[in-house]
Amino acid sequence: MDLLGHRLLFVTGKGGVGKSTVAAALALAAARRGLRTLLVEMDTRSMLAEVFGTGAVGAVPVELRAGVEAVDLEPDHVAEDFLRTHLRFERVWRPILESRVWHTFYEAAPGLKELLCLGKVYRLEEEVRRYSRVRRWDLLVVDAPATGHAMGLLNVSRVASRILVGPLRRFAQRITDLVTDPERTAACIVTLAEEMPVNETLELHGRLTGKLGLKVACVILNALVRPALEGEARDRFETLRQGDVLRRGLEGALGGGPATALLDCTEAQLAREALQARYARRLRRRLRVPSVEVPWLAVPEWDLRAVEEVSHLLERGLGRVR
């Protein structure tokens, strides 16, 4: 499966599971492949500036590194950009932007912020270079909001194309056409192999592929603990554990306290591995979507090196999925 071969990727999932990390990692992988990539953040306290050591990412695309630019679609800036683009002259748009009527409408109209943001993604996808007229970016990776908000965002153009009229209706329809075109657009759900994230992933997958008509190209199982003992070592551990041989040996070598602590630690790790395997199996059984695993990285600080490592692991994982 060529995930990076799309024009537009939405990375979503439950809060805190690693969406921003995966989105940034995919953008880095795309750049290594020579694709000019735009990473689109949405109203998040973006970790990009910190991780990439750039200044704050804002409404105007900034270069994170060769081949990767980033933009943050903070809704108020997007609204201003919308008025500016459509009304052109500051003496026209500025009074509207500062008027109470606009403010009240903007805050109260359901879905307006989402529509403006999704509309901005659409316009970024269409953006061309001034002289050559070729597309400015080969790939847009959208660090989409968590489940509920992502549904609101991805559903808004569909709803708008039913209730609006005239050019706005046609605009909403063109956005929906882009978002639901499986050749150009795919969603990617990030999850942990734990009960709540897996349940949410199953539900999100159903809603994205059902009512919304999006293609979910893959699920990223993030932060999986690596097996502490594998193969022969695991078998030997199990054998020694029987009949308390291990405990007695460790007590003899280390004393009672450290031996118990070590054994408890190992038991906890093995229990976690077993639980993780169970949820990963559950996910795979229920979803016919390729999954890619990213291990839990034991790093003292979540920095660019960690995101780069995730990027290489993802690239390898995606390469194995055909």
Binding site for Mg ion (CB under 5 A): 19-20, 44
When the beta carbons of 142 and 160 are compared against ligand ATP, the nearer one is 142
Q: How many CB atoms are closer than 10 A to CB 245?
A: 11
When the beta carbons of 42 and 287 are compared against ligand ATP, the nearer one is 42
Q: Would you give the binding string for ligand ATP spanning residues 209-248, x where CB under 6 A is met? A: -------------xx-------------------------
Q: Would you give the binding string for ligand ATP spanning residues 292-311, x where CB under 6 A is met? A: --x-xx----x-------x-
Q: 43, 2, 4: which is closest to 23 by C-alpha?
A: 4
Please, what is the Cα angle at 244 between 240 and 246, to 5 degrees? 45
When the beta carbons of 105 and 296 are compared against ligand ATP, the nearer one is 296
When the beta carbons of 21 and 291 are compared against ligand ATP, the nearer one is 21
Q: Which of residues 42-61 bind ligand ATP (CB under 6 A)?
A: 44, 47
d(CA 190, CA 17): 7
When the beta carbons of 44 and 269 are compared against Mg ion, the nearer one is 44
Considering CB under 6 A, how many residues would be counted as binding ligand ATP?
A: 17
When the beta carbons of 12 and 20 are compared against Mg ion, the nearer one is 20
- The phi and psi torsions of 216 (rounded to 5 degrees) equal -95, 110
d(CA 231, CA 143): 38
Angle between helices 256-286 and 195-209 (to 10 degrees): 10
Name the token pair of 317.
């994982």
DSSP 37-75: EEEEE-SS--SHHHHHT-S---SS-EEEETTEEEEE--H
Question: Minimal distance in Å, beta carbon 166 to ligand ATP?
Answer: 36
Query: Segment contacting ligand ATP (CB under 6 A): 58-66, 134-142, 260-268, 289-297?
Result: 289-297
Type of residue found at 288:
R
Q: How many CB atoms are closer than 10 A to CB 261?
A: 12
Name the binder of 57 from Mg ion, ligand ATP, none, CB < 5-8 A by kind.
none
Q: In the complex, which residues of this chain contact ligand ATP (CB under 6 A)?
A: 15-21, 44, 47, 146, 222-223, 294, 296-297, 302, 310
